[in-house]
């Protein structure tokens, strides 16, 4: 199953934010799983990098992001994704719209986020980290 990870999931791992880290790190450990293919977007990585630099500094944040890019699959944010997010009248937060439509474009069947309300318009299943662990483990 293709699973999209929102920026807040990545941030919780990069910054070891407890208690969420307990669940989010377990999800990121699935990068070699045959059952799940983990995706994120370049935009989510940029957001995660920004917050990681605040805690770890730029040098360590770059190393952490490099590790993520080596282990996660990346969606695309192109003109199709961008224009779809802009045109969807249900989408009020453009960044969330781009994340969502990049996941759709990559055929993801599930989005994991700690801000489920951000994807109120989603036709894809939305779970937080703890719900994912409870439902799939």
Exposure pattern of 109-126 as b/e (b: 16+ CB <10 Å)?
A: ebbbbbeeebbeebeebb
Helix, strand, coil: what percent of the chain each, to 5? 60, 10, 30
Q: Looking at residue 92, which CATH number applies to its domain?
A: 3.40.50.1010
**Residue range 76-105, pLDDT digits in tens:** 999 999 999 999 999 999 999 999 999 999
The number of distinct structural domains making up the chain is 1
Tell me the residue range of the domain where 112 lies.
2-136
Cβ-in-10-Å burial (0-12, 13-18, 19+) of 19 comes to exposed
Q: Does residue 113 carry a pLDDT above 90?
A: yes
């Amino acid at each position: 199953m293709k699973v999209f990870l929102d920026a807040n999931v990545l941030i919780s791992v990069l910054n070891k934010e407890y208690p969420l880290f307990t669940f989010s790190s377990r999800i990121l450990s699935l990068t070699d799983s045959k059952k799940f293919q983990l995706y994120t977007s370049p935009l989510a990585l940029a957001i995660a990098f920004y917050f990681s630099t605040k805690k770890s500094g730029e040098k360590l944040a770059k190393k952490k992001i490099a590790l993520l890019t080596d282990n996660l699959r990346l969606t695309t944010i192109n003109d199709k994704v961008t224009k779809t997010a802009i045109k969807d009248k249900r989408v009020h937060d453009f960044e969330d719209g781009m994340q969502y439509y990049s996941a759709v474009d990559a055929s993801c069947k599930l989005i994991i986020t700690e801000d489920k309300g951000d994807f109120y318009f989603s036709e894809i299943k939305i779970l937080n980290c703890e719900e994912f662990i409870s439902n799939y483990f």
